[in-house]
Amino acid sequence: VAGEFEIIEQYFSQQQLNRSDVVLGQGDDCAIVSVPLGQEVAISTDTVVAGTHFLETANPKWVAHKALASNISDLSAMGAVPAWVSMAISLPNPDEKWLHDFCEGFYPLANAHNLQLIGGDTTRGPLSITLTIQGLVPTGEALLRSGAQVGDHLFVSGVLGDSHAGLEVILDESKRSLPCASTLEKRHYMAESRSELGVVLRSLASSCIDISDGLISDIKHIMKRSQVGALIYVDQIPVSDELIRYCSKGEAAWKYALQSGEEYELCFSVPPEKIDELHKAVEQKGMRITKIGEITQNQDLRLFNHNQLLQSQSQGFDHFRESL
C-alpha cells in the first residue's frame, strides 16, 4: 500500500502544465504565485462529497470533471480567467486505480483552461474532494450579482434541466429505460465550461451568476443582491431535445429546467442598449444564449408560461434539504 506522499507525487505532481506566474508549485509548505499588475484575484471553494454530490461508485473521471467544472464555473460567473487550483482529497484508502481515473478527468479539463494544480492535501477519510480555484480578472471588471437594473434582459447560456434529469437516472434504476437516460446521466457529471462567455460578458452584463443551486434559487440571489425583482417566461427556457424525449410529456421539461442545480450555465442580466452588441459577440464565438425574462422593480419572482402567470415556484437545490 502506497503512503500519502508517494500518492501525491505519483498522481498530482507530474501531469500539469507550468504557468510562468507560479513561482513555486507543489513540494514546499505553500505554493507561491505572482499576480500581474492590473489584475485582481477571484477565489472560490467547492466541495463534492460521496453520497451527497456523487455516488461512491461513480466514474472517477466524471467526478473529477464535475468537481473542477463547478469551480471553473464560479470564476466564469465573475468574468475571471482560471489560473491556479489547490486540491484537498480524502480517500478511504489510497486506491491507485481510482486516482488514475480521477486524473483522467481532472487534467484534460485543467490543462484546457491553462489552470495549474499548485498544491493540496491528501488524507484518509470518507471520499470527498475540495478544490479552491483562483482566477484573474482586470481590476474593477469582475461581474457581480449586485448590478442588475430594472428593465435589463435576463439570459441563460446553453440548455437547462439535463443535470437534474441525469441525477434522477443515477438515483433511480427504473429510469434507466427512459429515452436518453445514459446521455443525461453523463451530462450530470460532464458540464461544459462557460469561461469564454464570462470574459465576453465583463463589459456587457450588469449581473451574472452560475446556475449551481437551480435557476430559481440563483435568480433569487441576483434579486437579493441587486434589490430588484424578475420575471421568467418558462416556455422560453432552453432545454435539450434529449430532456424533452426523456420527459413523458414535453411541457414538463421546463420544470426540470427551473430547479435543476449543478448546471454550471451562466444566468446574467444585460441592459437593453447592450443587447445588440451581446448578440454580435456571442454569434461570433458560436455561443448559445437565450433570453428567458426581465428584471423588474417589485422584488418578487414571477413565472409566466405562454403569458399565463404561474402560482407555484419550485425551490432551488439545498444540500441540507434535499440530497442523494
Contacts of a copy of itself in 47-86 (CB under 8 A): 47-53, 73-75, 77-78, 80, 84, 86
Instruction: Determine if 203 is a binding residue for a copy of itself (CB under 8 A).
Output: no
Selected binder of a copy of itself within 40, 96, 101, 104 (CB under 8 A) = 40
Minimum gap (Å) between residue 214 Cβ and a copy of itself:
12
Interface with a copy of itself by CB under 8 A: which range of 1-9, 254-262, 280-288, 305-313? 1-9
Q: Decide whether 87 or 237 has the Cβ nearer to a copy of itself.
A: 87
Q: 75 pairs with which residues across the strands? A: none
Size of the site for a copy of itself (CB under 8 A): 74
Instruction: Determine if 45 is a binding residue for a copy of itself (CB under 8 A).
Output: yes
Report the relative pairing of strands 289-296 and 153-157 from DSSP bridges.
antiparallel
Instruction: Determine if 227 is a binding residue for a copy of itself (CB under 8 A).
Output: no
Give the integer Cα–Cα distance in Å for 90 and 71: 18
SS3 155: strand
Instruction: Determine if 279 is a binding residue for a copy of itself (CB under 8 A).
Output: no
User: Phi, psi (5° rounding) for residue 156?
Assistant: -130, 155
Instruction: Determine if 117 is a binding residue for a copy of itself (CB under 8 A).
Output: no
**The three cell numbers locating residue 149:** 437594473
Instruction: Determine if 97 is a binding residue for a copy of itself (CB under 8 A).
Output: no
Give the integer Cα–Cα distance in Å for 187 and 184: 5
Give the integer Cα–Cα distance in Å for 323 and 273: 41
**The three cell numbers locating residue 11:** 498522481
Instruction: Determine if 209 is a binding residue for a copy of itself (CB under 8 A).
Output: yes
**Owner of C-alpha cell 425551490:** 315
